[in-house]
Amino acid sequence: MRILGIESSCDDTSVALIDASDKGLFVIAEKTASQIDIHKKYGGVVPEIAGRAHAEQILPVVEEVMKNQEKPDAIAVTSGPGLITGLLVGVEVAKTLSYLWNVPLIGMNHIEGHIHSTLLEEQDGPKNLQFPALCLIVSGGHTSLILMKNFGDYELLGNTRDDAAGEAFDKAAKLLQFDYPGGPKISKYAEAGNPNVIPFPRPMMHDDNLDFSFAGLKTAALYWLRDNALAVADPNPITLPTGIFATPSRAITLNDFCASYEQAIVDVLVAKTMKAAKKYKPKTILLAGGVSANKKLRETLQKETAELSPAPIMKVPTPGYYMDNAAMIAAAAYHHAKKKEFTNWKEINADPNWKVYEKK
């Protein structure tokens, strides 16, 4: 079947048409209009501006994806969680198309979408997924460990008690005056740094639960920058804010700072995932959400997963589908469409707080 996916929960207006069957979830056409340039100057996503930009972009994006295409068999739209200003735009467009084309509608959970980003473009992707799957979902808004017992059957094992992992990256990046989103920039600088130079805290790492806390890490970064100065070893440094950076005589570099900060986040994420893996013995470990683009996290988790006995299969998003996209929303809708779990267009609601593990 052909499923049209629509995603507008944060700062990407994304539309994708996929061909979905048990043999795989393959993209036919897709287009994403990013708002990063618009939000950059504010240092984060401004909900009102995001809503307006989604409203301006969404119809041209739908039009481009559907050019020369027959109408789809189903429409899947992110109806939560996310920013209400963006969700409303996607939901209204999806519901209108559903009514006009007389095509069934599926209200999709954004996190369920991220989980399915690991199955896109893979031969027999849905068929090959082995349960139970332990999912580490790490994005700008979420950090959760979820046990997936089957398609549509999720149990929350652990959650962040304050900031999400992506938020921790973005907040430290903001202290360094990097543009939003800062995660990719921190990890780029980290590549050439020493991760053992600054002993950032590993919050809750050894606690006897599967929850996370990252707010203290940002505060530790703030105090470190207040009390220390960084040498700039980078041959092409960013514009340096006064007071934060000193002359290149100091030993600790911007690269070391980023590497140490990244290592602290990775250590906590991997330790908690391993704790959960030892307890629940999953057949698959699935890493998804925007922060799964982080190479250090992927490599460390892969290495530790391989050391478990028996070793679960580790899956990460198909390249190009780490960050928010509509193809993953359409992909996750496939198993709902198969079971005819449709949402009446008169009843669909945008729900900014929808939890994937809570039955609707």
- Residues that bind ligand KG4 in the complex, under the rule CB under 6 A: 10, 139-141, 166, 169-170, 181-184, 187, 289-291, 293-294, 323-324
Q: Provide, rounded to whole angstroms, the least separation between the CB of residue 346 and Zn ion.
A: 28
- What is the Cα–Cα distance from 129 to 95, expressed in whole angstroms? 31
In the complex with ligand KG4, the residue whose CB is nearer, 39 or 95, is 39
Q: Provide, rounded to whole angstroms, the least separation between the CB of residue 344 and ligand KG4.
A: 27
Q: Which residues of 261-278 are buried (b: 16+ CB within 10 A; e: fewer)?
A: bbbbbbbbbbebbbbbbe
In the complex with ligand KG4, the residue whose CB is nearer, 164 or 337, is 164
Q: Provide, rounded to whole angstroms, the least separation between the CB of residue 196 and Zn ion.
A: 31
In the complex with ligand KG4, the residue whose CB is nearer, 106 or 115, is 115
In the complex with Zn ion, the residue whose CB is nearer, 110 or 171, is 110
Counting contacts by CB under 5 A, is residue 139 touching Zn ion?
yes
291 binds, among Zn ion, ligand KG4, none (CB under 5 to 8 A by kind): ligand KG4
In the complex with Zn ion, the residue whose CB is nearer, 169 or 257, is 169
- What is the Cα–Cα distance from 214 to 128, expressed in whole angstroms? 34
33 alpha-carbon distance from chain centroid: 17
In the complex with ligand KG4, the residue whose CB is nearer, 255 or 294, is 294
Q: Provide, rounded to whole angstroms, the least separation between the CB of residue 94 and ligand KG4.
A: 19
In the complex with Zn ion, the residue whose CB is nearer, 78 or 263, is 78
282 binds, among ligand KG4, Zn ion, none (CB under 5 to 8 A by kind): none
Q: Provide, rounded to whole angstroms, the least separation between the CB of residue 249 and ligand KG4.
A: 30
Q: Provide, rounded to whole angstroms, the least separation between the CB of residue 29 and Zn ion.
A: 21
Hunting for tokens 């690991």 — which residue is that?
118
The interface region with Zn ion, picked from 91-99, 138-146, 265-273, 305-313 by CB under 5 A, is: 138-146
107 binds, among ligand KG4, Zn ion, none (CB under 5 to 8 A by kind): none
- What is the Cα–Cα distance from 119 to 328, expressed in whole angstroms? 8
240 alpha-carbon distance from chain centroid: 30
How many residues belong to the site for Zn ion (CB under 5 A)? 2
Q: Provide, rounded to whole angstroms, the least separation between the CB of residue 265 and ligand KG4.
A: 8
Counting contacts by CB under 5 A, is residue 85 touching Zn ion?
no
Q: Provide, rounded to whole angstroms, the least separation between the CB of residue 121 and ligand KG4.
A: 18
Counting contacts by CB under 5 A, is residue 13 touching Zn ion?
no
Counting contacts by CB under 5 A, is residue 324 touching Zn ion?
yes
Which spans of this chain sit near Zn ion (rule: CB under 5 A)?
A: 139, 324
